[in-house]
Amino acid sequence: MSMRRALASLLGLIGLGAVLAGINMVAEARLADLQIDLTAGHIYTLSPGTRRILAELRQPITLRLFYSRDLGTRAPSYDGYHQRVSEMLDQYARLAHGMLKIERYDPEPFSDAEDKALSFGLQAVPIDQSGAQVFFGLVGTNLLDDERAIPFFQEQRERFLEYDLTRLVYELSNPTRPVVGVMSSLPIDGDPRLMMMAQGRGRAGQPWIAMSLLHQSYEIRSVPLKVWKIAPEIQVLLVAQAQHLPEETQYAIDQFVMRGGRLMLMVDPQSAAQADLPGPGGMPQTDTASDLHRLLDAWGVLYDPNQVVGDLTGAWRVRASPGDRMTVTDYVPWFNIRDGINHDDPATADLSQITVADPGFLTKKPGADITLTPLLTSSPRSGLIPAEKLRIDPDPAAILAGFKPEGGPRVIVARLHGALRSAFSAPPSAGAGEQRPADLPPFKDHTDGAANLVIAADVDILADRFWVRSQDFFGQQDAEPFSDNGPFIANLIGTLAGGDALLGLRARGAGDHPFILVDDMQRRAEAQFRRTQQDLQKHLDETEKKLASLREGAGQQGASQAVLTPEQRAAIDAANQEIVQTRQKLRGVERALREDIDALAETLRFFDIVLVPAILTLIAIGLGLLRHRRRGRARS
């Protein structure tokens, strides 16, 4: 009886195993694309844009994943990251319906796989002193032998994995270089006349370095400032400091957007780069503002060309005016942005610092049915400065003394997303002696879907002086970047060129924030010093005028030598005493500034060296005593 029960149980288990195996085979064949993502943040759920790109593939693409298992052994966190990359690639292959092939390699030392990884330009990372190297990268190729690669999957960029993979596939499926049109009143793409005058010395007349980066990835076409329509092959239009555009050009830009064209619009209340360029008479230019009010207002964006944003946080240290007691000072209209970078956008996620100069700001028009997503913002310690104060020989000390940080932060660069209406009701009339082109496309009064634009209230982001240092290296000009302005522009153009599919991909994480308490304290104290200095200097100037008038009055009495009356002498003595007191007050402010910074530094040093180790020691002692008591109770 027991043997029969045992045999029946065994047969039951075999049957159950067969049923489970059959269910698994059916699920593998029929339900491979069915997923339920229960993770926080839905890290395994692909965006509609990715699904559309994969479904529309028209030529085979091969993706080769190189992963050294030794990397996972040495750093287990990479093992989990590799698993996620591998699973996402499998998901891509399923959605591509046979147009995407995945190959996997373990590039062991001195193997063919390692040689292949190096030939593709993947990054080899040493893991010990023996010279052993590991790989974790991806290479994609198409039928035309075009290559795109991710040299190494950085852990810091894991939250942008879908964006990086989708962009690689998109570029391989669209191998022709996107066409970017450039319209500007500035010589951002080079000036042959200045280049001839420079005769090979320096970078005068050459394309700005930010434009050189764009030339590496895109076909750049110059668009004139007077045009009735934008060429249909232009996918992205960069309008940077295009001044005094005629009505027909504004209409061309408007209709380009209405027809789904991608626009990056850069305006500026005061272009420091343009102010450095010689005007018609050789003097510095004063017409340095740009505004496209008609277009921005119709699209729901407010921008004031008469106000410049200044910021105490990250302000540049510049040489003070001649005769100033302090040799350098903060120039608040020029500042570095660190915390104000949107790290949830793929174009700005990896950037650490952007420098702006005399920027304006953007706000959403009340009632506008658009989304304005900030990419760059000033700090809470920002304020507004009238643009006219910066156009002719600005005084950095006077600007700092009169600066009031209030109303911040302010949006300097933003993405605009939403359905837009045209700024025109019909094509404009042709000027005298002109006529509209016969092939002018029909007028469109609205976008068919949601438009995606980038609007910047600063064009100086493009200028070399605000993000690279040029130095001579054995007769060659070498540019060393200190800010991420160039990659910032290139990344933004890249997301626009990729269309809605790439624009819809966003990060699921947050960036970190540097510690700037000491910097903030120093800038607040210096701003206070500058205000005090300006008030006292004004009082001294008035006193000197009074003394000059007293001496002049004594000289008019006819004496060969001016004889001062007791009252005049008393006034002079009082002024001298006032000068001494003024200098003492200035030294007191400087001393207080230094003492506050030194005190904070000492506090931080004490916290790092003494307090934190002491707290950890006390916690360890407490845990030890608690464990000792528990053991004593267990023994008793």
Ranked by mean pLDDT, the top range of 112-116, 376-380, 507-511 is 376-380
CA dihedral 485, 488, 494, 499 (to 10 degrees): -130
For 431-445, the pLDDT digits (tens) are: 788 888 888 999 999
pLDDT band at 491 (very low <50, low <70, confident <90, very high): confident
Q: What angle do CA 545, 546, 552 make, to 5 degrees?
A: 90
For 296-348, the pLDDT digits (tens) are: 999 999 999 999 999 999 999 888 665 555 578 889 999 999 999 998 888 88
Q: Is the whole-model pTM more than 0.85?
A: no
Please say whether the beta carbons of 136 and 67 come within 8 A: yes
Please say whether the beta carbons of 396 and 328 come within 8 A: no
Q: Supply the pLDDT for residue 296.
A: 96
pLDDT band at 560 (very low <50, low <70, confident <90, very high): very low
Please say if the pLDDT value at position 504 is more than 80.
no
Please say whether the beta carbons of 213 and 486 come within 8 A: yes
Average pLDDT in the chain: 81
Q: How many CB atoms lie within 10 A of CB 472?
A: 10
Residue with tokens 């830009």: 253
pLDDT band at 43 (very low <50, low <70, confident <90, very high): low
Please say if the pLDDT value at position 360 is more than 90.
yes
Going from N- to C-terminal start, the domains of the chain cover 48-172, 176-304+359-377+406-424+446-514, 520-553+564-635
Q: Supply the pLDDT for residue 376.
A: 97
β-partners of residue 220 are 180
Q: Please spell the DSSP secondary structure of 257-312, one letter per residue.
A: HHTT-EEEEE-BSS-HHHHTSB-TTSSBP----B--HHHHHHTTEEE-TTEEEEES
Please say whether the beta carbons of 369 and 300 come within 8 A: yes
3-state secondary structure of 539: helix
Strands (E), 289-421: 301-303, 307-311, 315-319, 328-337, 354-357, 362-364, 371-377, 382-386, 411-418
Region label for 192, one of left (φ > 0), alpha (ψ between -120 and 50) or beta (otherwise): alpha
For 464-487, the pLDDT digits (tens) are: 999 988 665 444 455 678 898 988
| Alpha carbon of residue 554 to chain centroid | 65
Please say if the pLDDT value at position 251 is more than 90.
yes
3-state secondary structure of 616: helix
- Best CA proximity match to 534, nearest among 597, 585, 572: 585
Q: Please spell the DSSP secondary structure of 546-586, one letter per residue.
A: HHHHHHHHHHTT--SS----HHHHHHHHHHHHHHHHHHHHH
601: Cβ contacts below 8 Å, ≥ 6 apart? 518
Please say whether the beta carbons of 409 and 285 come within 8 A: no
β-partners of residue 141 are 62, 147
Q: Supply the pLDDT for residue 62.
A: 95
DSSP state of 432: T
Please say whether the beta carbons of 450 and 420 come within 8 A: no
Q: Architecture of 48-172 per CATH? A: 3-Layer(aba) Sandwich (3.40)
Q: Supply the pLDDT for residue 228.
A: 94
- Report residue 522 as tokens: 């120093």
605: Cβ contacts below 8 Å, ≥ 6 apart? none
More confident residue, 494 or 333: 333
For 123-154, the pLDDT digits (tens) are: 988 877 666 789 999 999 998 888 999 999 98
Q: Which of 29-43, 271-285, 315-329 has the lowest mean pLDDT?
A: 29-43
DSSP state of 320: P
Mean pLDDT across 242-252? 95
Which H helix or E strand runs over 453? strand 451-456
More confident residue, 543 or 495: 495
